Amino acid sequence: MTVDMTMPHQHHHQDLAYGTKPVDVILARIGRGQKKGGVEQGPDCLWEGGVEQALGEADITTDEMRLVTDQDFGLMPALAELAVSVEQAARNGHRPLTLGGDHSIALGTIEGMLRVYPDLRVIYIDAHGDINTPSTSKTGNLHGMPLAAHLGLFGQREIPGIGFVGARLLPQQLAFIGVRELDMTEASIIDDRNIVCYSAEDVRAYGMAAVVKQVLAQIDPEGRHPILISFDVDAADPSVAPATGVPVADGLLEEDLDILAELLCKTGRIAGLDLAEVNPALAASEADLARTVEVTSRFAAACLG
Ligand SMILES: [Mn+2]
Task: Tell whether pTM > 0.85.
Answer: yes
Q: How far apart are CA 173 and CA 74, in angstroms?
A: 30
Q: How far is the CA of 69 from the centre of ligand 1 (A)?
A: 19
94: annotated active-site residue: no
> pLDDT digits over 5-15, tens only?
444 444 444 44
Vertex 107 angle, CA 106 and 111, to 5°: 100
Q: Which of 87, 94, 102, 143 is catalytic?
A: 143
Question: Could you tell me if residue 17 is inside a domain?
Answer: no
Q: Which CATH number belongs to the domain containing residue 72 in this structure?
A: 3.40.800.10
Question: Does 8 map to a domain?
Answer: no
Give per-residue pLDDT as tens, 253-264.
999 999 999 999
CB 142 within 8 A of CB 163: no
From 24, 87, 103, 181, active-site residue: 103
Q: What is the CA(7)–ligand 1 centre distance, in A? A: 42
Known catalytic membership, residue 128: yes
For residues 227-236, give the mean pLDDT: 98
Among 94, 128, 150, 225, the active-site one is 128
* pLDDT, mean of residues 58-62: 95
Distance 103 CA to ligand 1 centre (A): 5
Does residue 21 sit within a domain? no
Average pLDDT of the chain is 95
Query: Based on the number of CB atoms within 10 Å of its own CB, is 134 exposed (0-12), middle (13-18) or buried (19 or more)?
Result: middle
> Letter for the amino acid at 50?
G
10 CA to centre of ligand 1 in angstroms: 34
Q: Quote the pLDDT of residue 19.
A: 82
Task: Say whether 277 is catalytic.
Answer: yes
The string of pLDDT tens digits covering residues 37-47 is: 999 999 999 99
What is the rounded average pLDDT of the residues 43-72? 97
Segments in 220-285 forming alpha helices (H): 254-266
Share of the chain above pLDDT 70, in %: 95
Asked if pLDDT for residue 294 goes beyond 90, the answer is yes
197 C-alpha to center of ligand 1: Å? 14
Does residue 53 lie in a domain region?
Answer: yes
Question: Is 243 among the domain residues?
Answer: yes
Q: 244 CA distance to ligand 1 centroid (A)?
A: 10
CA of 205 to the centre of ligand 1 (A): 23
- Rg of the chain over CA atoms, in angstroms? 18
> What gap in Å lies between CA 288 and CA 292, rounded to an integer?
6
Question: Catalytic pick from 181, 186, 234, 274?
Answer: 234
Residue 161, SS3 per DSSP: coil
13 is catalytic: no
The count of residues in the chain is: 305
What does the DSSP assignment read for 24-36? Answer: EEEEEE--TTSS-
Q: How confident is the model at residue 16 (pLDDT cuts 50, 70, 90)?
A: low
Total domain count for the chain? 1
Q: Which residue segment(s) compose the domain that 282 sits in?
A: 29-304
Contacts of residue 227, Cβ cutoff 8 Å, sequence gap at least 6: 18, 120, 121, 122, 123, 220, 264, 267, 269, 270, 271
Residue 150 annotated in active site: no
Cα four-point dihedral sign 6, 7, 11, 15: positive
Active-site residue flag, 103: yes
Identify whether 1 is part of a domain: no
Q: Tell me whether residue 265 is in a domain.
A: yes
Closest CA to 193 of 214, 174, 217, 166: 174
pLDDT of amino acid 304: 97
What pLDDT sits at residue 101? 97
Please say whether the beta carbons of 228 and 303 come within 8 A: no
* Residue 4 Cα to ligand 1 middle (Å): 46
Q: pLDDT tens digit string along 120-173? A: 999 999 999 999 999 999 999 999 999 999 999 999 999 999 999 999 999 999
Asked whether residue 16 is assigned to any structural domain, the reply reads no
